[in-house]
């Protein structure tokens, strides 16, 4: 059974939100909400999994920190929404194995999906959304937009009867440009390669044409030739 363990108001760079800590057994989640008294079909929900290195230490290997800020901005603009923060490091493998996956990527010069496979995991995403489902039901959200490019996340919620619609976070070219600016002007190569792996290998829904164009611009800024029109090697 899910429990409300504590609540308060949280003032952020994106405005003030109602903060609630939910618990179920040994699981815990943080939930930031705004404007849920008048829930409408425009209500926005983001389910975010913890990423210590991206959120706290500024890792440029992922877009997790940007996802948080972008989601809260969109909820603030919509005036109604919930941000659900789950403690599921490394897409569900935990902090220790996440570091091991980093080491495998560096040693084998491979992407995150290949690293999970080398470590013997059955999937590149082992997260569970049961707690998030219970929270959404307790909030009585009705129809809502889920901020995600992950169809697996949408399917997990739809399968239990929630009325969810997908809204991708990287829809327009400007979204990619804002993400890159968020990294502080550093070389975005590692981040862009990560996004490409998410799109190509994990089926994450994003504007592929915009991503390809941003990758071409990044190569040009490094003085690398554009070989995107040469096709695949025979």
pLDDT tens digits, one per residue of 30-59: 999 998 886 566 789 999 999 999 999 988
**Residue range 144-178, pLDDT digits in tens:** 999 998 888 999 899 999 999 998 888 888 888 88
78 with 188, same domain: the answer is no
Q: What is the chain's percent helix, strand, coil content, to nearest 5?
A: 45, 20, 35
Tokens of 112: 């995150």
List residues bridging with 6 in a β-sheet: 21
Q: Which of 127, 150, 175, 205 is catalytic?
A: 127
**Residue range 79-94, pLDDT digits in tens:** 899 999 999 999 999 9
185 with 205, same domain: the answer is yes
Q: Which of 125, 150, 175, 205 is catalytic?
A: 125
29 with 74, same domain: the answer is yes
Domain that holds residue 99: 94-123
Per-residue model confidence (pLDDT) at position 1: 85
The answer to whether position 230 is within a domain reads no
158 with 57, same domain: the answer is yes
Q: Is position 181 annotated as part of the catalytic site?
A: no
The answer to whether position 204 is within a domain reads yes
28 with 60, same domain: the answer is yes
208 with 195, same domain: the answer is yes
The answer to whether position 42 is within a domain reads yes
Phi-psi region of 159 (alpha: psi -120 to 50; beta: other; left: phi over 0): alpha
Q: Is position 73 annotated as part of the catalytic site?
A: no
Report how many domains make up the chain.
Answer: 3
Q: How confident is the model at residue 126 (pLDDT cuts 50, 70, 90)?
A: very high
- Does the pTM surpass 0.95? The reply is no
Is 227's pLDDT higher than 80?
A: no
């Amino acid at each position: 059974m899910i429990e409300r363990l504590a609540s308060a108001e949280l003032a952020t760079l994106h405005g003030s939100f109602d903060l609630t800590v939910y618990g179920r057994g040994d699981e815990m989640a943080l939930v930031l909400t705004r404007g849920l008294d008048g829930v409408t079909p425009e209500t926005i929900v983001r389910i975010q999994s913890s990423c210590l290195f991206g959120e706290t230490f500024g890792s440029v290997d992922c877009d997790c920190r940007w996802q948080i800020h972008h989601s809260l901005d969109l909820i603030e603009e919509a005036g109604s929404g919930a941000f659900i923060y789950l403690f599921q490091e490394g897409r569900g493998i935990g902090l220790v194995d996440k570091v091991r996956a980093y080491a495998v990527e560096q040693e084998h010069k491979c992407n995150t999906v290949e690293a999970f496979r080398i470590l013997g995991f059955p999937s590149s995403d082992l997260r569970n959304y049961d707690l998030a489902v219970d929270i959404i039901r307790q909030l009585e959200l009705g129809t809502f937009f889920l901020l995600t490019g992950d169809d697996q996340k949408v399917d997990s919620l739809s399968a239990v009867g929630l009325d969810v619609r997908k809204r991708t976070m990287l829809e327009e070219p400007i979204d990619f440009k804002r993400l890159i600016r968020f990294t502080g002007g550093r070389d975005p190569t590692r981040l862009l390669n990560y996004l490409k792996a998410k799109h190509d290998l994990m089926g994450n829904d994003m504007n592929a044409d915009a991503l390809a164009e941003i990758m071409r611009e990044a190569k040009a800024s490094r003085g690398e030739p554009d070989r995107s029109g040469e096709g695949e090697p025979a």
